[in-house]
Amino acid sequence: MPIDYSYSLGNLRPFNATSLFAFAGQINGDLGRLPKEWQERYRADGEREDGRIVYTVTHHQTPIAWVVEDKHGLPIAVVIPDHYYSRTTAGQQGRCRNYLPYPDYRVTQLED
């Protein structure tokens, strides 16, 4: 049965669709091809005092989106790095932009 991305991503539900994988929590090891500056952001989001990464979406073992919530389950950020990997990954990033919740909390670029 095909995955309903709008339901799974919109409700932060885990799924495994070959090279696209979503799960509760964060990666504590290798972050694949995620650029160094975004790796720093990912790790910082995972070590926040006011919240934590509650959901991660990876494509070919690289985080392409993650959701950060505070200790009360309220959104802090939905991070979808604007880094281009390939046409396929760009399509998966588009799914994340379209279906992940909290559109008012989107972060796509690093602050200077």
**pLDDT, tens digit (0-9, with 9 covering 90-100), for 62-107:** 999 999 999 999 999 999 999 999 999 999 999 999 999 999 999 9
Is pTM beyond 0.75? Reply is: yes
Instruction: Give the distance, in angstroms, between the CA of residue 45 and the centroid of all CA atoms in the same chain.
Output: 11
Please choose, from the candidates 106, 70, 64, the residue with its C-alpha nearest in 3D space to the C-alpha of residue 88: 64
